[in-house]
Chain A
């Protein structure tokens, strides 16, 4: 469709004119301006909702909201075309078969062996071996080898040595969705473990010998403690209500030596609504500080993040400080349980704070344990009530930790943002379907590519320059401050305002420091080489002049350009606050209403060239980078290639 306008979301005065294309996998907008011909690509998988707004004199507006928080406002001249686009997008954004997804047509030009190698990058058996299993206390069980016991669990599960197949099967019959207690994390220093399951089908009084034996087996696998914690991550009221439906929670009287604990994290519906409310705050035009803070609090989002974090901290403490094993569950054991187990593991084990380790963590606690990616993130069109930002919350917990412990993670903010992006993009096959079983049936590994291989190939973009394996923050357990700590939870504008370039100044501390680090390394290597050469030369008495001029050339080449720092940006509309001051009464003749005095038009670019470094920045404490530069796979959210007036906040 031609003559479509792409509006800057916050300033309707700025619009780019171009052509809109719809392909089988993407929506593409190409600007008419001939020098740049800037392209905006949106994967259909990313589209969360499409809103057709009332036709105005200028055309028919269409608002596309994406799962990665990009919001695209188009104005299509003809109503007829707009309607066609709208209908098409609705269909395209709601695929019915897996084969419609991008991952089945995406071609990174790798051969079969490279594809296979990509999938082998993360190996869970190796991971459990790294933990020290199998050993005297824990073993691999193949009881689920044909998914016969639990179809949402992997074929290989890790269970206590004393848990026989009989016990496992018996326990699985007493657990919601057959999700029996299995190992998530083992701490070899003190034998404490984190196990996970779903809720027991205990109702008000039902018991199951095998399930009780299972918990005992977990306890016995840790000789250092005579009890285990059982943590129910639901609010007490919800758990109790479940009893009426024949489910519920473990009764301390029936299960010997357990200490039961509720840690209330709300359910997927509450979280879905919470995110919705927060995004509404993000869409406010020129909000006041009050609007923003009230809106954010009203959404409850940060409160939920903190609840998940607190649960993870409790479990990590139980394992690291008390040496007590923990069994975690929620209702079905695939949402809150996954969040809480992975946060706890991250706090406990520095390996999961490395890039590779983090991939392993997601593979372990999310992918292998049957988190319902398809239902939660809408790979295919499904029940909207199943949609919920569960893994988004976990990823945000990681970011909050990175803000508190800037040296502790090997990867940076961009890594997290890209992972989130690809969970929704369906460009790779890792996050399809609802279980390992379904993925095997679809032959995902033979027909798609692994995200992990792609990220690993580009790992230089994802490194945290402040990370050193021998730094104190990277050793041992992370201990976030427990209280007071409300203020430690910040709004993640790098994620939720990812595409609003006006909010993020263009100086990236992470990228600068990575460049510095690299250059230092190069210089050191050069120094070594030159040192050796000098030593040789001193022995063999060559022409002095030749040597000197060579050294000079070398040092010139390696000069690090710091000019990428001298980037200003353009001012936003600072006159938009007028509405918050009540003093403007219209009758006063003397005054000037300055609302329109400094318009966008006045602010055209007499700017110096700002395209040198497009990346966005972070402040003193947020030592992380916001804009991805990951090749063609990601939307071009950095305006670096084009004039940066494009990004603006205005009234």
Chain B
């Protein structure tokens, strides 16, 4: 699985031999690959007007392009804000709750993200084909898809340590602009242009997987909530800045010498006393690919996050304590 940003085809349909060769080396003679473009076909075409575009079939004959539009940017942030507002609105009647939920479209975005990640995983696992994923910039929906696909495909990404590695690779080092995206969250009046909850959408999708496959993830919901918190505000430097360049010492654009001046979230999480708080008592290594159902009935609102401060989780916590006891007792 590869990821990139969009090719700069432009209005004049420029070609780039090196790019074509690079993609050519990935595939053997006669093999085919899939390009999953997270923009709609129309949006991708329009991107040419501003210098971007798509890979023309004639130049990349072995690659088949699939479009799976995923929401990003302002619309995704609006969706998030609307959902949080709906969840906090105590005046809604049961009559209108579901349509209000629907109008936020958040669950549709979860469904679309999971479907696309599954598609990528299917290409690799079932078609045994290589996959290239990109959107426009390669920093948002691209990473959502590649990271999720790996959780689906790869059991090692479902371990606590493996998941941290996945986050480091596919989100942090890959350059998801956390500083811009995770600025003010859902309550701020300042509607910042660059803010968008892609990372939260990823965590929500992982939560859906944990719900559908309760034995297959080594970590539980608490880890996901902690990651959500730390992406926005953290005592640790792991989610600071927008990319490695800004974090590294010795580069001209370095902003804050992250590794020298801050502590790593992972170091803290991996301490034995901390770690056990995040482990899933039902975990048992599952070597197989986990294919989620993306039917509407299977996708649920992440109550642990969206109702975290609104309703008591006492009874559910007690249930988890029971589960813990049962498993440990054995």
B310, A598: Cβ atoms closer than 8 Å: no
B102, A406: Cβ atoms closer than 8 Å: no
B127, A567: Cβ atoms closer than 8 Å: no
A516, B284: Cβ atoms closer than 8 Å: no
- Residues A552-584 near B (CB distance < 8 A): 560, 562, 565-572, 574-575, 577, 581-584
Decide yes or no whether A245 CB sits under 8 A from chain B: no
Contact stretch, chosen from B39-47, B169-177, B234-242, B267-275: B39-47
Decide yes or no whether B33 CB sits under 8 A from chain A: no
Decide yes or no whether B161 CB sits under 8 A from chain A: no
Closest to A472 in B: B318
Closest to B121 in A: A571
| Closest beta carbon of chain A to B142's beta carbon, Å | 18
Closest to A408 in B: B315
| Bound CA–CA A49/B286 (angstroms) | 42
- Residues A281-325 near B (CB distance < 8 A): 286-294, 296-297, 300, 302-303, 306
Closest to B152 in A: A571
- Residues B12-64 near A (CB distance < 8 A): 40-43, 45, 54, 56-57, 64
Interface 1/0s, chain A 202-237, versus B by CB < 8 A?
000000000000000000000000000000000000
* Chain A residues within an 8 Å CB radius of B195: none
Decide yes or no whether B221 CB sits under 8 A from chain A: yes
A493, B297: Cβ atoms closer than 8 Å: yes
Closest to A576 in B: B115
Decide yes or no whether B287 CB sits under 8 A from chain A: yes
B319, A293: Cβ atoms closer than 8 Å: no
With an 8 Å Cβ cutoff, the count of chain A residues facing the other chain is: 86
* Chain A residues within an 8 Å CB radius of B295: 286-287, 502-503, 572, 649
Decide yes or no whether A481 CB sits under 8 A from chain B: yes
Decide yes or no whether A250 CB sits under 8 A from chain B: no
B94, A406: Cβ atoms closer than 8 Å: no
Q: A466-B322, A560-B330 are in contact. Are A493 and B298 (CB under 8 A)?
A: yes
- Residues A436-477 near B (CB distance < 8 A): 465-466, 468, 471-473
| Bound CA–CA A569/B112 (angstroms) | 20
Contact stretch, chosen from B133-141, B212-220, B257-265: B212-220
B299, A289: Cβ atoms closer than 8 Å: yes
B98, A581: Cβ atoms closer than 8 Å: no
A486, B111: Cβ atoms closer than 8 Å: no
| Closest beta carbon of chain A to B37's beta carbon, Å | 10
* Chain B residues within an 8 Å CB radius of A505: 212-213, 290, 292-293
Q: Which of A491, A581, A588 contacts B69 (CB 8 A)?
A: A581
* Chain A residues within an 8 Å CB radius of B121: 571
| Closest beta carbon of chain B to A602's beta carbon, Å | 6
Contact stretch, chosen from A79-87, A91-99, A135-143, A589-597: A589-597
* Chain B residues within an 8 Å CB radius of A583: 40-43, 67, 69
Q: A487-B87, A489-B94, A520-B326 are in contact. Are A288 and B296 (CB under 8 A)?
A: yes
| Bound CA–CA A517/B213 (angstroms) | 21
| Closest beta carbon of chain A to B288's beta carbon, Å | 3
B contact residues, range = 35 or more
Q: A487-B301, A491-B297 are in contact. Are A574 and B118 (CB under 8 A)?
A: yes
Closest to A507 in B: B215
B94, A471: Cβ atoms closer than 8 Å: no
| Closest beta carbon of chain B to A624's beta carbon, Å | 11
B115, A468: Cβ atoms closer than 8 Å: no
| Bound CA–CA A621/B41 (angstroms) | 39
| Closest beta carbon of chain A to B65's beta carbon, Å | 5
A602, B221: Cβ atoms closer than 8 Å: no
| Closest beta carbon of chain A to B126's beta carbon, Å | 6
B296, A590: Cβ atoms closer than 8 Å: no
* Chain A residues within an 8 Å CB radius of B54: 590
Closest to A289 in B: B108
* Chain B residues within an 8 Å CB radius of A296: 98
B296, A291: Cβ atoms closer than 8 Å: yes
Q: A507-B213, A572-B291, A583-B40 are in contact. Are A484 and B98 (CB under 8 A)?
A: no
* Chain B residues within an 8 Å CB radius of A303: 94-95
- Pairs of residues from A and B, 4 with the lowest C-beta to C-beta distance, nearest first: A619-B211, A568-B288, A583-B40, A292-B296
Where the two chains meet, the residues of A that have a C-beta atom closer than 8 Å to any C-beta of B are: 286-294, 296-297, 300, 302-303, 306, 404-408, 465-466, 468, 471-473, 481, 483-491, 493, 497, 502-505, 507, 509, 512-513, 516-517, 519-520, 523, 560, 562, 565-572, 574-575, 577, 581-585, 588, 590-592, 594, 597-598, 602-603, 608, 617-621, 623, 649
19 A-B pairs besides A303-B95, A406-B316, A502-B293 with CB distance below 8 A are A289-B107, A293-B102, A294-B98, A406-B318, A466-B322, A473-B318, A505-B212, A505-B213, A507-B216, A512-B215, A512-B282, A566-B288, A568-B291, A571-B122, A574-B119, A583-B40, A594-B64, A619-B212, A620-B211
12 A-B contacts (beta carbon < 8 Å): A471-B318, A484-B311, A520-B326, A565-B284, A568-B286, A569-B291, A571-B291, A583-B41, A588-B41, A590-B57, A591-B65, A619-B214
